[in-house]
């Protein structure tokens, strides 16, 4: 049986937990750390009413945070919509409204340029204390092959 991306990351984290997984100029994340951060954010997203077949906008520069946001959305059972923070605000508003996202994952500095809407805004830097307080134990997301992701 084929594994979902989030399941493959978890299995890899179990097998080679301390190996580097993501490298950025000033940060290195091991597989174990990636699994922990994505699981905690997935729990936080679920607490913000993100679940199966919910679309989540990810408006972040290419970074470790972008990968964490995307994998967390998949773990929560949702699908993600990558958005370039360099897009003009009008274009971002149009895409977000057309897609009817339920949440938007971003950072404080980027959020100042983003339109407001009916979606929940999760700012990884501002909401970090609440996110890191979430459990690192994986809950059953009941993701299936017929889900949006």
pLDDT means per 10 residues, the chain with 149 residues, are: 63 72 84 91 91 91 94 91 95 95 96 92 97 83 55
pLDDT at 1: 58
In 3-state terms, what secondary structure has residue 20?
A: strand
- Residue 72: which residues within 8 A CB-CB, separation 6 or more? 37, 38, 39, 41, 42, 44, 45, 105
- Torsion (CA) 82, 84, 85, 90 in degrees, nearest 10: -100
Q: Which helix (H) or strand (E) holds 58?
A: strand 55-59
The bridge status of strand 79-83 relative to strand 120-123 is: unpaired
Predicted structure pTM score: 0.85
Q: In the prediction, which pLDDT does 52 show? A: 82
pLDDT of amino acid 129: 96
Selection from 98, 133, 140, 134 nearest residue 119 by Cα: 98
Q: Cα Rg for the chain, rounded, in angstroms? A: 15
Beta strands in 78-126 (DSSP E): 79-83, 103-106, 120-123
Report residue 104 as tokens: 């938007």
């Amino acid at each position: 049986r084929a594994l979902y991306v989030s399941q493959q990351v978890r299995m890899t984290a179990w097998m080679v937990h301390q190996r580097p997984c993501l490298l950025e100029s000033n940060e290195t994340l091991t597989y174990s750390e990636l699994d922990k951060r994505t699981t905690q954010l997935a729990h936080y997203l679920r607490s913000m009413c993100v679940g199966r077949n919910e679309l989540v906008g990810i408006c972040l520069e290419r970074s470790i945070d972008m990968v964490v946001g995307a994998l967390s959305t998949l773990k929560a059972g949702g699908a993600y919509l990558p958005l370039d923070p360099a897009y003009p605000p009008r274009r971002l508003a149009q895409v977000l409204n057309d897609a009817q996202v339920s949440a938007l994952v971003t950072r404080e500095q980027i959020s100042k340029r983003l339109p407001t809407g009916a979606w929940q805004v999760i700012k990884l830097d501002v909401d970090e204390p609440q996110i890191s307080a979430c459990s690192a134990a994986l809950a059953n997301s009941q993701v299936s092959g017929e889900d949006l992701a």
